[in-house]
Amino acid sequence: MILLDSVGHSGLLQKILEADHWLFARVNQVWTNAAFDTLFPWLREAEIWVPLYLFLWVFITLNFGKKGWLWAIGLIMTAIVGDLVSSHLIKEFIFRLRPCQDPQLADSIRVLASYCPVSSSFTSSHATNHFALATFIFYTLRHTSRWWRLFFGWAFLISYAQVYVGVHYPLDVTAGALVGCLIGYCTSRLFYLQFGPLPLPPYKQSHA
């Protein structure tokens, strides 16, 4: 297993980790306010984002018929693959102590999360999963509306929240986002090659 610590590395990696700690301190301890202290811990909870994806799942199946159900299965598979890669593959080979578990940061860190996991901080599974879903959604639905790109903003907010509340470093969420985008792109391409693009819903066809 590779230990991704803040010390003991040389060259470029050490400089990246030092910059990572500096940026974490800014997000977690400097760029803060009372509104963010309320918003970000709330935003990252499953009770907030599960209904959003469930609404999307129902919306697509109702508007796109049989192919919409195939799309919904693809969305679920994207989330499963993202979680497997981040939580059960990368974390098995790379261990990084979470900032909220690091005794050296105990006097300075603000931990706003309801709990601090003991699993590896690298990569952020939240970032991986939400960026995988955002990428899948965008590439499979972009021909129907330009607004689907907003899911990238949603994924960014949730990823930023992971740093703000003290459970991940910026590098963790950045790497997770990149992995998620790659997974989402691959699953969207697989969906397109197997089933083709989703047809425009009736209200779009009338304006085409």
- Tens of pLDDT, residues 119-169: 999 999 999 999 999 999 999 999 888 899 999 999 999 999 999 999 999
Torsions phi, psi of 200, nearest 5? -65, 140
Checking if the pLDDT of 188 tops 60, the result is: yes
In angstroms, the CA 26 to CA 39 distance is 18
CB atoms within 10 A of CB 75: 23
pLDDT value for 12: 86
pLDDT band for position 208 (cuts 50, 70, 90) = very low
* Torsion sign across C-alpha atoms 188, 81, 165, 40: positive
Of the ranges 36-45, 65-74, 129-138, 192-201, which one carries the lowest mean pLDDT score? Answer: 192-201
Q: What is the pLDDT of residue 26?
A: 97
According to the model, what pLDDT value does residue 131 have? 98
Q: What is the pLDDT of residue 201?
A: 58
* 94: three-class secondary structure by DSSP: strand
pTM of whole model > 0.85? yes
| Lowest-confidence region among 25-29, 75-79, 128-132, 194-198 | 194-198
Instruction: Tell me the pLDDT tens digit for each residue of 14-59.
Output: 889 999 999 999 999 999 999 999 999 999 888 888 898 999 989 9
Cβ atoms of residues 66 and 195 within 8 Å: no
Task: Identify the pLDDT of residue 204.
Answer: 55
**In what helix (H) or strand (E) does residue 36 lie, and over which residues does it extend?**
helix 34-43
pLDDT at 153: 96
pLDDT band at 114 (very low <50, low <70, confident <90, very high): confident
